[in-house]
Structure 1
């Protein structure tokens, strides 16, 4: 129970990496607040699943691209949990598109969700953590942003996406410096190729899937739980001297590409 009594918030929490993270932190003893775009069956079932573990849970619908949603999500955490200890910025989109024909609307939407959304959400969480003060061990909280291996490598159909993930990685480095004096640790996780809804269509091609698997030294694509485990570590006291770091969780693909 690495997160016993912790209050954890997760954006983009009803599917993929976000859902796996919400369930895994709950299994480790945390109460969980979840944000996603719409309040549907996926949100209701996730809250019920967490509550069945004996943990508290709530869902707050809203678009992370709207800065007001960040304020409202943190306010909901204060109302339900009386605060927040861990914030996981996971919400993101990647509508694959060619560079030369990239519509400005697609570029702006990707930037607004992936980077602006991460910024305003992390800022609101940090403001709440600072107001709560440090505990007796000098811990003020943990902020974890889901970046991507795409922060380190290019992608022909991802010219709008890769800059946002590089920005999220850089954001955690800078906030680690800005928030260290408050006992708040800030780290990023860089997933490799993880099987989620974002790349489901792309990986449905057997040849493309086999090609992707061949590039990974561990011989398999990742699953959301592979990333959730890293989040649990960074959220826990096991990582209480880790800040400004990035954890590449890609089965070895990045070093193999070099």
Structure 2
């Protein structure tokens, strides 16, 4: 444990599995107490909390569908009640139900927008209001995606939400700077999680994706911990706000 986040109180959405889970536990390794939001996977959330507590930190799991605006205030209020406040907020929850464009069901499009974009907006807003109330600044980090910068044939509903999350961090960096709140985006490349496991079950497609990555492999959820801790840390990133950091093994720049 490095203590970069010693004594900090962290909230992470979508933290029962994948990137969110890895980030929540990773922040605890660096000294933070952590509140994890989850939708339906109570077992995953509870096991994440157990790992956080095994590291000697306080953990709490709070259920809520991020697509519902009221879940944002419920999550933040619950975190304040259990941890005493919120210093770092990580917006991670997201979905990507792959589907073709021409016959995109309205409900798939709208659900993706509500979870990824609306959920991010109201969660970030609730966290920011708490940080302003506390008066000590803070750090807000949103998981955007390489998909904010490139298109995807079966992601016409998804890529706009990730571009929106990136833009949200840029605008909130301006809006919240006067309160000492830093807002930054992380842009993961292809990370092996539940969101893409079915798509990458195709061995040929997985090999193609791996060949596109200069570092020679797809990402793991744990690859997102270091960049998150960097942006969360006042010591390391105290003058970083409105930034976007690609974490993709070099995939974006590999055009050959």
Using the size of structure 2 for normalisation, the TM-score is 0.97
Q: 1:217 aligns with which of 199, 207, 214?
A: 214
Q: Could you say which residue in structure 1 is the equivalent of 2:68? A: 66
Correspondence for 2:29 = 27
Q: CA deviation digits over 1:206-242, x for unaligned, max 9?
A: 1111100111111110001111211011001200000
Q: Give the direction of change, closer, same or farther, for the CA distance of 1:173–1:9 in structure 2 (3 Å limit).
A: same
SS at match of 1:44: helix
| Structure 2 CA distance for aligned equivalents of residues 45 and 222 of structure 1 | 22
Aligned counterpart, 1:236: 233
Q: Identify unmatched segments of 5+ residues in structure 2.
A: none
1:195 matched residue in structure 2: 192
CA contact (8 A) 1:141 1:184 kept: yes
- Structure 2 distance, partners of 1:29, 1:256, is 36
CA distance, structure 1, for counterparts of residue 126 and residue 42 of structure 2: 25
CA distance in 1, matches of 2:146, 2:178: 29
* SS of alignment partner, residue 195 of structure 2: helix
Q: Counterpart in 2 of 1:250? A: 248
Q: Deviations over 1:73-121 (max 9, x none)?
A: 1111111111100000000000000000000100000000000000000
Unpaired runs of 5+ residues, structure 1, are: 135-139
1:164 is aligned to 161
Contact in 2 for aligned 1:217/1:251 (Cα 8 Å): yes
Q: Distance in 2 between matches of 1:48 and 1:222?
A: 25
Computed over aligned residues only, the root mean square deviation of the Cα atoms, in angstroms, reads: 0.8
Query: Can you list the C-alpha shifts for 1:146-202, whole angstroms capped at 9, x where unaligned?
Result: 000000000000000000000000000000000000000000000001000011011
- Quote the offset at 1:68 in angstroms: 0.5
Runs of 4+ in 1 over 6 A off after TM superposition: none
